[in-house]
């Protein structure tokens, strides 16, 4: 895929994932234009001041809740990367309608605006918390996934296609436990919810490059899931503060002991490739003009397969986690890891 003649818009583009996406795009892919669509004018100003001032960059103030503004922003856009969301679990629990307005209704607005503008490809970023959700954030992301996948039905007579990428915790993103551990280290005590807790983990760079590759391969309706390592929360605590005392405080409301990226039920429609899984849509008639069959590219999963953070075959050990965290600590100390 040639990005040089493509106009790309990224919702929530002034956050860490969005900024890393823009950084990689400018360095390696050189699109004709990148539009940052977000509602925080201060963060947009700070982006410009921090070096995001390439001539191909445009800054568009707007909210995904505002469909008219989205329609204006998507005029002439070829590719949309949808990252905007309310993602703090406690905040979503306490403000449920606000989470629904942004994560579900806002996603619907992106879909409608993309259809009206004739956008070619829309890729939405999802999360492992959308699988068998136990909190509102996960439920809204599950609903958003369903909206994006099924919207290919409405776009079947056009060139617009919708897909999703689903992965685990992004190192250093908003809500990451690492800065909490770094701060607690100064007091000599780190709090964790359960010593058995595990999580999937992916770096910003890996996540962004996976999204780009999936945009290039998508035909509409897929949920792309990378093969990524798991880590134990207790190992992360030991990597950040090996000398600190660890206090177990119990699992918080809306929190899982382990996360899942592919459920047993989804596995029946999923194929495995060397470095990722692809959950195929139940209806695929909109892909027929492409002659694309994922089953020819990958291997169907065994019955009962479950991709969980506790049953993963890839694990990050304490030494590996320490190597990953060290450069992040420098950025936190300098105040450069604020999402």
Q: What is the mean pLDDT of residues 109-132?
A: 97
| Cα separation, 222 vs 267, whole angstroms | 13
Q: Reply yes or no on whether 129 is catalytic.
A: yes
| Cα separation, 270 vs 230, whole angstroms | 20
- When the pLDDT of each residue in the chain is averaged and rounded to a whole number, the result is 92
Q: What is the pLDDT of residues 76-120, one digit of tens each?
A: 999 999 999 999 898 999 999 999 999 999 999 999 999 999 999
pTM: 0.94
Q: Which of 129, 141, 227, 256 is catalytic?
A: 129
Query: Residue 291: its pLDDT value, please?
Result: 45
Q: What is the pLDDT of residues 241-298, one digit of tens each?
A: 999 999 999 998 889 999 999 999 999 999 999 999 999 987 766 665 554 578 888 9
Q: List the domains of the chain with CATH numbers.
A: 7-168+201-227+261-307 (3.40.50.720)
CA–centroid distance for 235 within its chain = 24
pLDDT at 178 over 90: no
Q: What is the mean pLDDT of residues 150-171?
A: 92
H-type helices in 25-88, by residue range? 41-49, 67-73
pLDDT at 339 over 60: no
Classify each residue of 275-301 as buried b or exposed e, where b means 16 or more C-beta atoms within 10 Å of its C-beta. Answer: ebbbbbbeebebbeeeeeebeeebeeb
Query: Residue 287: its pLDDT value, please?
Result: 62
Q: What is the mean pLDDT of residues 144-157?
A: 92
């Amino acid at each position: 895929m040639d990005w040089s003649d493509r106009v790309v818009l990224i919702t929530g583009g002034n956050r860490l994932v969005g900024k890393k996406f823009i950084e990689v795009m400018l360095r390696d892919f050189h699109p004709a234009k990148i539009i940052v669509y977000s509602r925080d004018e201060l963060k947009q100003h700070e982006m410009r001041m921090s070096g995001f001032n390439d001539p191909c960059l445009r800054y568009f103030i707007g909210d995904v809740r505002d469909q008219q503004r989205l329609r204006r922003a998507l005029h002439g856009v070829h590719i949309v990367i949808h990252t905007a969301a309310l993602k703090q679990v406690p905040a979503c629990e306490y403000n449920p309608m606000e989470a629904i307005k942004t994560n579900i209704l806002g996603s619907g607005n992106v879909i409608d605006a993309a259809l009206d503008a004739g956008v070619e490809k829309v890729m939405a970023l999802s999360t492992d918390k959308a699988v068998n959700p136990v909190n509102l954030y996960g439920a809204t992301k599950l609903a958003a996934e369903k909206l994006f996948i099924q919207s290919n039905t409405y776009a079947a007579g056009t060139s617009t296609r919708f897909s999703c990428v689903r992965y685990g915790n992004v190192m250093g993103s908003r809500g990451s436990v690492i800065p909490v551990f770094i701060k607690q280290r100064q007091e000599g005590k780190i709090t964790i919810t359960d010593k058995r807790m595990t999580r999937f983990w992916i770096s910003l760079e890996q996540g962004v490059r996976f999204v780009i590759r999936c945009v290039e391969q998508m035909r509409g309706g897929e949920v792309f899931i990378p093969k990524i390592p798991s880590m134990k929360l207790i190992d992360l605590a030991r990597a950040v503060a090996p000398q600190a005392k660890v206090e177990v405080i119990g699992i918080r409301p809306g929190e899982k002991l382990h996360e899942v990226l592919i459920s047993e039920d989804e596995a029946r429609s999923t194929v495995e490739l060397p470095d990722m899984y692809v959950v195929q849509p139940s209806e695929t008639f909109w892909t027929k003009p492409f002659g694309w069959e994922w089953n020819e590219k990958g291997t169907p999963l065994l019955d009962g397969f479950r991709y969980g953070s506790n049953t993963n075959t890839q694990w990050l050990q304490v030494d590996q986690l320490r190597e990953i965290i060290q450069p992040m600590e420098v950025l936190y100390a300098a105040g450069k890891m604020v999402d």
